[in-house]
Amino acid sequence: MIERFSHMRVGVPKEVKNHEYRVALTPAGVRELHAHGHDVVVETNAGIGSSIGDEDYVRAGARIAKHADDLWGDAELVLKVKEPVAQEYGLLRDGQTLFTYLHLAASAECTQALVDSKVNAIGYEMVRSADGRLPLLAPMSEVAGCLAPQIAANALTKVNGGRGMLMGGVTGVYGAKVVIIGAGVSGMRAARIAAGMQAKVILLDRNIEALHAADAYFRGAVQTISSSAHAIEEAIADADVVIGAVLVPGARAPRVITNEMVAGMQPGSVLIDLSVDQGGCFEDTRPTSHADPTYTVHGSIFYAVANVPGAVPVTSTAALTNATLPYALALADRGFAGACAADPALAAGVNTAAGALVSEAVAQAHDMPWTPFGD
């Protein structure tokens, strides 16, 4: 029989990452945790960016903490949206469970901070079901994929430094050529929106089965191409927009577009790297923020915001809670060890535990020692 915890102290801090407006839990989520007998504490104004006021949380059964130090110091389970940043490292503590997006393959500093603090850290993006799905990454991948063509359409305007093109063109005039690399959740969503804008869309992936599925879904509205370095170079040479949506779960994203390839592209073309959380799939990718989202490489515009869904927090926060709440309830009800023992999908998301790095993919990214979880 698995032990059931009562009165787990669950903390929901305000996100401090640049222009991050999401929050890890909606009032509906608070209500569920409260109904299970848990004490939920939300930092004041944590939900304001998602149009959720402190009073909404209080009505759902939460308490409000005025200071982040108090919340982190008391919480046994911390629910966040983004990985801890430097100002939060000192708030992590031994035995605490942190449940959030981590993307540690992109940050050796954050990885070391989690190991040093001895926190039990579970990354949303690595929770993996038996059939290979990533149920907690999927909702934000959907949002990012849907946003990418909108972002590209804006960046393509001349006033924003782009080529001065309309994504779908008009009668008698070509629309934009949009190349999407990766036929996963975000790539498929980006292709759907771009095709809906009447752009010419080319979707590349190395997985032929994924391309078969895309062909069946789009029924000829999107052209599918087997991905290779040669195919990518040919496809992007005259592209107006390139969207990188490459994912290797938990590991650093492979770099599929080189600086040399970008040099051969049209001036004013737009490249959006949705893989930036995992280090980026373009050689010239460097993380940007919503405050300063773009930079130029060889006359092309790069967009590499590391928290794209944060731009639409009302949608993103609701979608995130829908996905994460069952796992958060399991962690609160059974504790870290019990919940992971009961659910291999959740256990697959563990990155650090009791001072050890337990993710092989993260260890390989930073050449760090690791120990398999449970050993």
Catalytic option among 38, 39, 103, 273: 103
Give the containing element (helix H, strand E) for 180: strand 177-181
Within its chain, how far is the Cα of 172 from the centroid?
A: 39
CA angle 33, 38, 42 (to 5 degrees): 75
Decide if 81 contacts 124 (C-beta within 8 A).
no
CA angle 142, 148, 152 (to 5 degrees): 170
Alpha helices in the chain (DSSP H): 27-35, 54-60, 68-74, 86-89, 108-117, 138-155, 185-196, 208-218, 229-236, 259-263, 313-342, 344-347, 360-366
Catalytic option among 205, 240, 273, 277: 277
Within its chain, how far is the Cα of 273 from the centroid?
A: 12
Asked if 103 is an active-site residue, the reply is yes
DSSP 266: P
Question: What Å distances lie between residue 94 and 14, 32, 332, CA to CA?
Answer: 21, 27, 17
Active site residues: 103, 277
